[in-house]
Chains A and B, each alone.
Chain A
Amino acid sequence: MASTSSTWRRNQQRLAPWLFLAPGIAMFLIYVIIPIFQSMAISLYQWDGLGEKVWVGLGNYVELFDDEAFYTSLKNNLIWLVLYLLAIPAGLFVALFLNQTVRGIRIYKSLFFFPFVISQVVVGLVFSWFYDPNNGLLNLGLMALGFDPIPVLADEKWVTYGIIAAGLWPQTAYCMILYLTGLNAVDPEQIEAARLDNARGLRMLWYVVLPQLKPATFIAMVVTVIGALRSFDLISIMTDGGPWGSSRVLAFYMYEQAFSEYGFRMGYGAAIAVVLFAIMMVYISGFLWKMYRDEKGR
C-alpha cells in the first residue's frame, strides 16, 4: 500500500494529464480512429452486410475509378466546396449590415439567424417548393418576367447549383453569427484612430476591421468547408441524388451504395468513404499545420 501510494506520488505530475485525457482518448479511438481503419479494411472486401465477406483486394477501387457516378459525385463535391464558400462573404455582409444599434435590432438578428436554427430537412422542403416547376415562387416569378420556367431540381445542369443555393441560406446565417460575435470584439479605439486618419468605407473594412476578424474568418472557413464536404441531408430531401444521379456528392453516393434501399454494398461504400477521407485529409492536414504554426508563433 505504501509503495503504491509513493509510486503514485512520484509520478503524479506525469500521470494526471493522461488520466484526465483517458475518457476522451478512449471515445475518440472507439468512435473515430478505429472505424477509419475498419472502413479501410472493409473497402477491400465485397460484403452485403449479412453474408460472408469476400476478399477482392483493390477491386472496389478499380471499379470506382471506372464508375461514371463516382466522377459525377466528385465533380459535384468540388462545385460544393467552391460555391459553399460564398457563405463567408455573404455572412460578413449581413453581419456588417446588422452591426448597428437600431430599435429592435435583436429581432432582425434573430430573423436572419432563423434559417440556421430550423432543420436542414425543412430547408430542403421549403426550397423544393420554391423551385417547383408549376407552382414554385421562382418559376412564377420567371414566368411573370416572361421567361420560360426552369425545373431546377429536374434538370441536370441546374440541380447542384439549386441545392447549393438552398444550403447557402442556413450557412450564411451561421457565418453571420460568427462575424457578429467577432465584430463585438473589434477594438473601438483602433476604429477611432483609423477614422482620424481618414479611413472609411472599404478601406476601413479591409485594413482595420477584417484583420481583427481573422479568428472569425478562420472558424467560418473551417465550418463551411466541412459543411460542404458532408452535404447530405439537402440532397437526400430535395432530389434523392437525382435526376439520374446527377446531384450526388461522395457522401451521398457512399450512403446510397452502403445503406440505402437498393444498396448494401458495404465494401464499395467503404471504398468511397476512404476516398472522401483522403480528400478531407488534405484539408485537415492543412488546418492542423496552420494551428501548429499559430501555436508556435505565440
Chain B
Amino acid sequence: MFHSSKTLGAILASTMLATSAFAGELVINTDTSDPAPKKAFQELIDGFQAENPDIHVTWNLFDHEGYKTSIRNFLTADAPDIANWYAGNRMLPYVSAGLFEPVDDVWDQNGLHDSLASAEGSMTIDGHIWGVPYTYYQWGVYYRKDIFEANGIDVPKTWDEFLAAGKKLKEAGVTPITIGTKYLWTAAGVFDYLDLRTNGYDFHMALTKGEIPWTDDRVRAVFAHWKEMLDAGFFIDNHAAWSWQEALAPMVQGKAAMYVMGNFAVAPLREAGLTDDQLGFFQFPVINPDVPLAEEAPTDTVHIPANAKNKEDAKKFLAYIARADVQTKINQTLGQLPINKDSQVGDDKFLQAGYQMLSSTTGGIAQFFDRDAPAEMAKAGMEGFQEFMVKPERLDAILERLEKVRQRVYK
C-alpha cells in the first residue's frame, strides 16, 4: 500500500538533514496503484530525475481507493509537494479550503494557456488555475464489431438507428448493453450521455451545478429516453449485483454487444481475449439533432498543496509534466490521451478514435457526473439512476428525492 521508490540511502540522507528546509527534495503522493498508471508515473519520475539530477524525488504510492481518504489528511497534516487528483468540481473542496496552491504563474511562464487550452476551463475556479492536467480519456460506446456484422447491423448514428440496432440484437438473442451498477457510477455515464444528447452541454452543466430542478420537464425527457431503452430490454438483468469489471464478462462471452464506458475498459477486454477485429468504438448516437455534440472525458491532474515545503521544485515538476513530449510518453504507457495539443497520440485504434472524436467536439467536454456535481448530489443522483434502471415506475419519487437533495446541497 505504501511504497517509496528511492533507495535506503536517500531516506537516510533526508532524515539526517532534518525534515524541513532541504531544498531539492520533492515529495510526490499519487494514487496510481494500477499497473499501467504505476509504470507511467515511474517513467515520468525517472525522466524528471534525469533532467534534474539535483532534485531528489520521494514518491509515495497510495492504494487507489485509500487515497481518497488519505488526501484529506495529508493535505492538512503532512503535505507532499505534489499530489495527483481530478479536475472540475472534484477539486473544489480542497480549493475552497485553501489546501491547493494556485499555479497561474506556471501556466503563464510555460505557455500552457495555449498548449493545454482545452482543459483550462475545468482547471479554473474563482479565476485562478489550480493544477496541471496530464491525461484524459474518452467515453462512448464500446461494441462487439463481429456480432454487429454477423447480424447485419451498421454503427448507429441516430437514436432511432440505435433502438433499431438493439431490437435486432434482441432478436438474435444478444442483450444490447452490458452494465454493472453495483458501485453506481456506471449508470451515471449513461445518464450523462442521454442528457448531453437530449439537452446539451450547457443544460447538463447547469443541472450538475444545481441551477435546474430535477423535476424539470427537460430532465424528465432524459429519463423518457432512458425508459425507451429499459422497455426495449436494452440492459442485462441483475446489473445491480455486478461491478463494472464483472459486467465485462457478458460482452466477452458474446451475450451482450455494447458497453457505455470509458477507454479504460479496452485493456481488460483485450486481456480477456477480444481482438481489435472483434472490438469497436462509436460515438454515443445523436438524440436531438439541434444539440451540438458534447462528450465526456474525465481529466486527471497534478496539484501543489498549499502546505508544500518545496514549491519551487514542485513548479518545475508541473512544467515538466505539462510538456508535449512528456505527455506523449506518459499517455502511451497509460493508454490514454494527452492534454497538450502538440503531443503525439498513440497509434492504438481506440486512442485514435477518441482523439478524433474529442478534438472535433464542438459542444463541450464534461468531466463526469460525479466530478461535475458536488459529492452529495452525485451520490444521491447515481443511486437514483440505479433505482430507476430497475424500478422505472418509481421515477416521480426518485426525482422528488433528488430535488430535495438539490435544495439542500446548493444552498
Complex Cα distance, B387 from A165, in Å, reads: 24
Q: Among A50, A154, A242, which residue has its beta carbon within 8 angstroms of that of B97?
A: A50
Complex Cα distance, B237 from A132, in Å, reads: 12
Q: What is the predominant secondary structure among interface residues of chain B facing chain A?
A: helix
B22 at interface by CB-CB < 8 Å? no
Q: Which residues of B contact A48 (CB under 8 A)?
A: 93, 97
Question: Contact: B239 with A263, CB < 8 Å?
Answer: no
Complex Cα distance, B69 from A49, in Å, reads: 11
Question: Contact: B97 with A51, CB < 8 Å?
Answer: yes
B11 at interface by CB-CB < 8 Å? no
Interface string of A143-162 (1 = CB under 8 A from B): 00000000111100000000
User: In the complex, how many angstroms separate the beta carbon of A57 from the nearest chain B beta carbon?
Assistant: 16
A244 at interface by CB-CB < 8 Å? yes
Complex Cα distance, B99 from A131, in Å, reads: 44
Q: Which residues of A contact B68 (CB under 8 A)?
A: 261
Residues of B160-199 contacting chain A, CB below 8 A: 181-184
Q: Which residues of A contact B94 (CB under 8 A)?
A: 50
Question: Contact: A154 with B241, CB < 8 Å?
Answer: yes
Residues of A9-68 contacting chain B, CB below 8 A: 48-51, 63, 68
Question: Contact: A50 with B238, CB < 8 Å?
Answer: no
Question: Contact: B241 with A240, CB < 8 Å?
Answer: no
Q: Among A50, A132, A242, A256, which residue has its beta carbon within 8 angstroms of that of B240?
A: A242
Interface string of B274-287 (1 = CB under 8 A from A): 00000000000000
Q: Which residues of A contact B375 (CB under 8 A)?
A: 261-264
Stretch at the interface among B257-265, B324-332, B352-360, B378-386: B378-386
Complex Cα distance, B96 from A256, in Å, reads: 22
Q: Which residues of A contact B99 (CB under 8 A)?
A: 50
* Interface residue count on the B side (C-beta < 8 Å): 30
Q: Among B93, B237, B386, B390, which residue has its beta carbon within 8 angstroms of that of A50?
A: B93
Question: Contact: B379 with A262, CB < 8 Å?
Answer: yes
Complex Cα distance, B302 from A133, in Å, reads: 41
A141 at interface by CB-CB < 8 Å? no
Question: Contact: A151 with B237, CB < 8 Å?
Answer: yes
Q: Which residues of B contact A132 (CB under 8 A)?
A: 241
Question: Contact: B238 with A133, CB < 8 Å?
Answer: yes
User: In the complex, how many angstroms separate the beta carbon of A211 from the nearest chain B beta carbon?
Assistant: 46
Question: Contact: A244 with B384, CB < 8 Å?
Answer: yes
Given contacts A68-B401, A262-B376, contact A242 B182 (CB under 8 A): yes
B333 at interface by CB-CB < 8 Å? no
Q: Which residues of B contact A68 (CB under 8 A)?
A: 401
Residues of A127-148 contacting chain B, CB below 8 A: 131-134
User: In the complex, how many angstroms separate the beta carbon of A78 from the nearest chain B beta carbon?
Assistant: 22
Given contacts A259-B69, A262-B370, contact A133 B97 (CB under 8 A): no
Question: Contact: A51 with B238, CB < 8 Å?
Answer: no
A245 at interface by CB-CB < 8 Å? yes
Interface string of A220-239 (1 = CB under 8 A from B): 00000000000000000001
Complex Cα distance, B329 from A31, in Å, reads: 50
User: In the complex, how many angstroms separate the beta carbon of A126 from the nearest chain B beta carbon?
Assistant: 15
Given contacts A153-B241, A262-B379, contact A244 B386 (CB under 8 A): yes
Complex Cα distance, B181 from A126, in Å, reads: 20
Given contacts A262-B370, A262-B376, A265-B376, contact A243 B386 (CB under 8 A): yes
Q: Which residues of B contact A259 (CB under 8 A)?
A: 69
Interface string of B125-165 (1 = CB under 8 A from A): 00000000000000000000000000000000000000000
For residue A52, which residue of chain B has the nearest CB? Answer: B97
Question: Contact: A262 with B378, CB < 8 Å?
Answer: yes
Given contacts A151-B237, A240-B182, contact A245 B69 (CB under 8 A): no
Question: Contact: B387 with A244, CB < 8 Å?
Answer: yes
Interface string of A239-277 (1 = CB under 8 A from B): 110111100000000001001011111000000000000
Q: Among B69, B241, B383, which residue has its beta carbon within 8 angstroms of that of A244?
A: B383
User: In the complex, how many angstroms separate the beta carbon of B276 from the nearest chain A beta carbon?
Assistant: 27
Q: Which residues of B contact A151 (CB under 8 A)?
A: 237-238, 240-241
Given contacts A51-B96, A154-B241, contact A240 B383 (CB under 8 A): no
Complex Cα distance, B380 from A256, in Å, reads: 12
Q: Which residues of B contact A63 (CB under 8 A)?
A: 408
Question: Contact: A243 with B387, CB < 8 Å?
Answer: yes
Residues of B35-72 contacting chain A, CB below 8 A: 68-69, 72
Complex Cα distance, B99 from A243, in Å, reads: 35
Residues of B within 8 A of A (CB): 68-69, 72, 76, 93-94, 96-97, 99, 181-184, 237-241, 370, 375-376, 378-379, 383-384, 386-387, 390, 401, 408
24 contacts between A and B (CB under 8 A): A50-B72, A50-B97, A50-B99, A51-B97, A68-B401, A131-B241, A133-B237, A134-B238, A151-B240, A153-B241, A154-B182, A154-B238, A154-B239, A242-B182, A242-B383, A243-B390, A244-B386, A245-B383, A261-B68, A262-B375, A262-B379, A263-B376, A263-B379, A264-B72
Other than A50-B97, A63-B408, A134-B238, give 9 A-B pairs with Cβ distance below 8 A.
Answer: A151-B241, A154-B238, A154-B240, A240-B182, A242-B383, A244-B240, A244-B383, A245-B383, A259-B69
Residues of A within 8 A of B (CB): 48-51, 63, 68, 131-134, 151-154, 239-240, 242-245, 256, 259, 261-265
Nearest 6 A-B pairs (CB), nearest first? A262-B379, A154-B240, A244-B387, A154-B241, A151-B238, A243-B240
